[in-house]
Amino acid sequence: MFADIKKRFSDLEQQLMDPALIADQKELVKISQEHASLKKAMTLILELEKTEDNISQNKEIINSEQDGELRAMAQEELLELEKRATEIKEELEEEINPDNPKDKKNAIVEIRAGTGGDEAALFAGDLFRMYSRYCERRKWKLSLIDSSVIGIGGFKEVVFEIKGDGAYGALKLEAGTHRVQRVPTTEKQGRVHTSTATVVVLPEAEEVDLEIKPGDVRIDIFCSSGPGGQSVNTTYSAIRLVHLPTGITVSSQTERSQHQNKERAFQVLRSRLLAKQEDDRRIASSNAHATQVGAGNRVDKIRTYNVSQDRVTDHRINISWHSINRILDGEIEEIIAALRKADKEATAANKA
């Protein structure tokens, strides 16, 4: 199996060096994506080969070395190497045969203020910052697609793209209603308020994943706007797409050019349509977008951020973490790992 992957990776590298490929942009994108998807597997394969070679060398030392101290050192290192080899094999298995191939894709994330007025919009801004800092820690690229800002610094809505290996797989379980319990800065009597924000996470869909008929989309062009609705751009560069068969509406106004905003809007539209198509095929009672969001009510929650108790609780796995400021600063790896472990165990149990 590994020989096939190595050969395919080598073939793709040769194709990418072919100047003629530049003329065929669709084929270039397709090959580049496949090359990128195999890169992590190749890195793991090379590490496994090196580790197994070191295991063989240590076994030779143990079997032939007369010096007891050297044999003991080789034995100790052998245990570590064998442990690492097992870990690499598990990582490779997940990389080559993922439970969901879409987990390796980039992600489109949408955050919207729910119940709670301005405080909900401020909380939506806190969540955006949390995911932004998490992306920085992972060295992923975050690009804003659309936003609706309130005057005091929060978001009624913010839509952004995250580019990084496995971004969708890492963040897909963040989807749902997030609830915060805290004393707002505008509260003079010190009362704790409860507000919500909804998060939707979609795998980024490329043109090869879904083709949209030009006649099915109405394109509106308008000026970009800032807080309070005032125009921030004298040129008509903002784009709104309306998918006529489904009524899905997407806007993009963060780029300087109309062409760039149109491209980003179509990215989001493809992702939303692909998610809807897949849910329709599953004959679900509601589409994934609605399932992820819920109603945005206080009772419809997946996670609670209790500021006064310095605690974050995920209600799906009933686990709490402390140091809320650290979590809101993007240190959510532990939460994501716990959710993915529980999801994997549930999937395995359902298959059994």
The CA-based angle 299-302-304, given to 5 degrees, is 80
How many whole angstroms separate alpha carbon 204 and alpha carbon 189? 45
- Compute the mean pLDDT over every residue in the chain, rounded to the nearest whole number: 85
How many whole angstroms separate alpha carbon 182 and alpha carbon 37? 42
Q: Provide the pLDDT for residue 349.
A: 79
In this structure, what token pair is assigned to residue 122? 């401020």
Q: Provide the pLDDT for residue 156.
A: 92
pLDDT in tens, 56-84: 999 999 888 778 888 899 999 999 999 99
pLDDT in tens, 8-63: 999 999 999 988 888 888 788 788 878 888 888 899 999 999 999 999 999 999 88
* Alpha-carbon 212 to chain mean position: 24
Is the model's pLDDT at 257 over the cut of 70?
Answer: yes
Helix/strand/coil for 162: strand
In this structure, what token pair is assigned to residue 22? 């530049």
Question: Which strands, in side-by-side order, build the sheet including 238-243?
Answer: 217-222, 238-243, 248-252
* Alpha-carbon 245 to chain mean position: 28
What DSSP assignment string belongs to 19-83?
GGGGG-HHHHHHHHHHHHHHHHHHHHHHHHHHHHHHHHHHHHHHHH---HHHHHHHHHHHHHHHH
Q: Provide the pLDDT for residue 155.
A: 92
Q: 3-state SS of the chain: helix, strand, coil percent to 5?
A: 50, 20, 25
Q: Provide the pLDDT for residue 33.
A: 77
Is the model's pLDDT at 188 over the cut of 70?
Answer: no
pLDDT in tens, 317-326: 999 999 999 9
Q: Provide the pLDDT for residue 284.
A: 47
Q: Provide the pLDDT for residue 295.
A: 44
Task: Answer whether 54's CB lies under 8 Å from 28's CB.
Answer: no
CATH class of 214-281: alpha beta
pLDDT in tens, 327-340: 999 999 999 999 99
Average the pLDDT over 299-305 and give the result.
84
Max CA pair span of the chain: 82
Average the pLDDT over 261-288 and give the result.
75
**Taking the model in full, what pTM does it have?**
0.71
What ranges do the domains of the chain cover?
Answer: 2-96, 103-204+285-351, 214-281
How many whole angstroms separate alpha carbon 65 and alpha carbon 237? 73
Backbone angles phi, psi at 137, to 5 degrees: -65, -35
Q: Which residues contact 293 (CB under 8 A, 6 or more apart)?
A: 112, 175, 176, 177, 198, 199, 200
In this structure, what token pair is assigned to residue 121? 């919009």
pLDDT in tens, 103-155: 888 999 999 999 998 999 999 999 999 999 999 999 999 999 988 888 777 89
Is the model's pLDDT at 289 over the cut of 60?
Answer: no
CATH code of the domain occupying 103-204+285-351: 3.30.70.1660
Is the model's pLDDT at 299 over the cut of 50?
Answer: no
Count of residues in the chain: 352
Q: Which helix (H) or strand (E) holds 153?
A: none
Task: Answer whether 65's CB lies under 8 Å from 71's CB.
Answer: yes
Helix/strand/coil for 93: helix
pLDDT in tens, 197-230: 999 999 988 766 777 888 889 998 887 665 444 4
> Nearest to residue 9, comparing CAs of 39, 30, 32?
39
The CA-based angle 204-12-210, given to 5 degrees, is 25
Q: Provide the pLDDT for residue 48.
A: 94
DSSP bridge pairs for 147: 158
In this structure, what token pair is assigned to residue 241? 């797409």
Q: Which residues contact 57 (CB under 8 A, 6 or more apart)?
A: none
Which amino acid is located at 153 in the chain?
G
